[in-house]
Amino acid sequence: MPTLPPLLRYSIHQKNLWIVFVASIACFYASVTGYSMQAFFQTEIDDINKDQTASQRITQTWLPGAGVDAFPKFECAIDPFGFSPRWGEMKGDAQLNRKFCSINNNELGSPPKYDMAVLKKPLAELNQNLHSAANQEAVTSKLFYSTRYLGDYDLDSDEFVNTTHPALDMKMPAGSIVRAIAGGRVHDIANDPNGLGQYIVVEHRLPKNNERVFSIYGHLGSTSVSIGQEVKVGEMIGTVGTSGNTKLPHLHLQIDKDRGSLKHTPYVPAVDAKRTDVVRWTMHPVDFIDNY
Ligand SMILES: [Zn+2]
Residue 36: what pLDDT? Answer: 46
Compute, in angstroms, the gap from residue 252 CA to the centroid of ligand 1.
Answer: 4
Residue 70 and residue 98: Cα distance in Å, rounded? Answer: 42
* Structure confidence at residue 78 (pLDDT): 97
Q: How far is the CA of 262 from the centre of ligand 1 (A)?
A: 24
Q: How far is the CA of 286 from the centre of ligand 1 (A)?
A: 14
53-292, CATH topology level: Glucose Permease (Domain IIA) (2.70.70)
| Residues shown for the chain | 292
Q: What is the mean pLDDT of the chain?
A: 85
Which residues, 6+ apart, have CB-to-CB distance to 169 below 8 Å? 145, 146, 147, 250, 251, 252, 253
d(CA 216, CA 187): 10
User: Separation of 272 CA from ligand 1 center, angstroms?
Assistant: 18
pLDDT band for 86, please (50, 70, 90 cuts). very high
Around ion ligand 1, residues with a beta carbon closer than 5 Å are 167, 169, 252
- Give residue 70's pLDDT: 80
Q: What's the CA-to-centroid distance between 164 and ligand 1, angstroms? A: 10
Distance 166 CA to ligand 1 centre (A): 8
Residue that wins the pLDDT comparison between 17 and 172:
172
Distance 217 CA to ligand 1 centre (A): 9
Residues 31-42 pLDDT 10s: 544 444 444 444
CA of 147 to the centre of ligand 1 (A): 7
Q: How far apart are CA 29 and CA 138, in angstroms?
A: 76
Across 42-51, 79-88, 118-127, 250-259, least confident range: 42-51
Q: What separation in Å is there between the alpha carbon of 218 and the centre of ligand 1?
A: 7
Centre of ligand 1 to C-alpha 278, Å, is: 14
Report CA(146)–ligand 1 centroid distance (Å). 9
Query: b or e along 159-177 (b: 16 or more beta carbons within 10 Å of the residue's beta carbon)?
Result: beebbebbbbbbbbbbbbb
User: What does the pLDDT read at residue 243?
Assistant: 98
For residue 196, report the distance from its CA to the centre of ligand 1, in Å. Answer: 8
Among 66-70, 104-108, 136-140, 259-263, where is mean pLDDT lowest? 66-70
Tens digits of residue pLDDT in 152-189: 999 999 999 999 999 999 999 999 999 999 999 999 99
Extents of the domains making up the chain: 4-51, 53-292
3-state secondary structure of 139: helix
Residue 226: its pLDDT value, please?
Answer: 97
pLDDT confidence of residue 25: 54
